[in-house]
Amino acid sequence: GAGVSQTPSNKVTEKGKYVELRCDPISGHTALYWYRQSLGQGPEFLIYFQGTGAADDSGLPNDRFFAVRPEGSVSTLKIQRTERGDSAVYLCASSPSGMEGMAEAFFGQGTRLTVV
């Protein structure tokens, strides 16, 4: 596709439920990033993939959060036993590899997750 696509655009779920958020990066981009943005704040890092592997998952807040990128393209962020504090916009970005690639990162429009 022409840009980074995130689905769904909005998701409302009940406390305790499981949710999956999808990110479809720009074709050919090897790096993929997930961020969480709470209302009125800057994005906070969750996890960074280089290809299929997680290069840095130090931002995942706890073991309820997990992300995969099995074929090095589409990524899924999975949240188990959702809590109201998980409500936020989840942003995904992708970029080509390498030093110069970092300058070519593009963000998706995000998924707004609301846990009720």
Point out which residues bind another protein (CB under 8 A): 33, 35, 40-45, 48, 50, 55-56, 59, 89, 91, 93, 99, 102-103, 105-110, 112
Provide the minimum distance between the beta carbon of 70 and another protein in the complex, in angstroms, as a whole number: 21
Task: Extract the tokens encoding 41.
Answer: 């704040």
CA distances from 111 to 6, 37, 79, 96, 102 (A): 6, 10, 13, 22, 23
Provide the minimum distance between the beta carbon of 69 and another protein in the complex, in angstroms, as a whole number: 15
Of 64 and 112, which has the nearer Cβ to another protein? Answer: 112
> What residue type is assigned to position 114 of the chain?
T
Of 41 and 80, which has the nearer Cβ to another protein? Answer: 41
Provide the minimum distance between the beta carbon of 2 and another protein in the complex, in angstroms, as a whole number: 13
Of 35 and 65, which has the nearer Cβ to another protein? Answer: 35
Provide the minimum distance between the beta carbon of 96 and another protein in the complex, in angstroms, as a whole number: 13
